[in-house]
Chain A
Amino acid sequence: MSELAAPPAERAVHHPALQHHFVDLQQQKEAASLGMWVFIAQEMLFFGGLFAAYAIYRHAYPEAFALGSHHLNRVIGTANTLVLIGSSLTMAMAVYSAAIGWRRGTVGFMLATVLLGGVFLGVKYFEYSEKIAPCLGDQVHTGCLLPGANFDPATVHAEGASAGQVQIFFSLYFGMTGLHALHMIVGIPIILTIAAMAWRGRFTPEYHTPVELVGLYWHFVDIIWIFLFPLLYLVTGH
């Protein structure tokens, strides 16, 4: 049973989406999705540097990481995690809709994905501004959690050496969640573009590879958050 044994039915009918250098649509789709997986592999390593920094500093400063983590709102973090997982469900449903040829479903589920992604980013904006707003201006900086000259260690009950160490936690918090949010900001216009293509009837059950590939990207971004949430919001300790 080799790949060559695949029925040659697709070859006989030339599908308009089939590029001439591929044998059939199946091969074309597998090549495209393999390329997307290789891109995701390098994305993993792109985030990997931050995860390595996190692992090293958390091991070095466990108390400071627990102090910083306790100041992040677990309820908001949990709700936002569920929102993002929900957006992965709607994205999976969009791919399903495309696979069964349900055009309105494909577009509708992709718009739902964008909406949920927007809710996530809106909550993130609220969380960021709560921590950054007190750092602005030149008055008192009570509550400022942006690492730097205005950082207020008293907000997280950090004193002495841990005042500096807890800034490392917040540097990683802003760096990791910021890079994650940037990936969502990039993903949303791509989803909207492909939703517009779907609306114009560009996809069929035989050919809807762009929907699948943007789905892979969105799910990958979801996975990054699945790790960031416990690592940043749920550090247990004193």
Chain B
Amino acid sequence: MQPQTGPPADQPAEHHVVPWTVYVVIFLGLCLLTATTVIVAGFDFGPLNIIVALGIAISKASLVVLYFMHARYSPRLTGVVIAAALAFFVILVFLTWTDYYSRPWPLTTG
């Protein structure tokens, strides 16, 4: 049997403390991504604009969730809650969107 080099993924170590340098690195990464999103907003990629902007925002949010919010070091159940929240968020936004655009636009009253 191989000796374990770290805590098993499904079992968070008790009193696990992430080194503070990790937070500083994540902060610098977030600053860099903020600069990136502002710079690329100066170029027009047509329909890709929103994809690029959201892609960078999702990367930033993932860093915050995984490291600042400790999701990476949390029990699996936390991941289930996050996944469920994301799924319902997508249903709320995307299915509402498809409902509007499968009907005549602009919406008429009455």
Task: Give me the interface of A with B, judged by CB distance under 8 Å.
Answer: 1, 3, 6-7, 26, 30, 33-34, 37-38, 40-41, 44-45, 48-49, 51-52, 55-56, 58-60, 74, 78, 81-82, 85-86, 88-89, 91-93, 96, 99-100, 205-206, 212, 215-216, 219-220, 222-223, 226-227, 229-231, 234-237
Contact = CB atoms under 8 A, between A and B. Distances in A.
Contacts of B97: 52, 55-56, 59
Given A1-B11, A89-B24, A236-B43, A223 B17 contact: no
B93 A234 contact: no
Contacts of B105: 60
Contact of B41 (A1, A40, A236): A236
B11 to A, nearest CB: 6
Nearest to B27: A89
Report the interface size class on chain B. Answer: 35 or more
Contacts, number: 142
Given A93-B20, A230-B53, A41 B14 contact: no
Contacts of B75: 30, 34
Interface string B32-51: 00110110011111000110
A6 B75 CA distance: 13
B72 interface: no
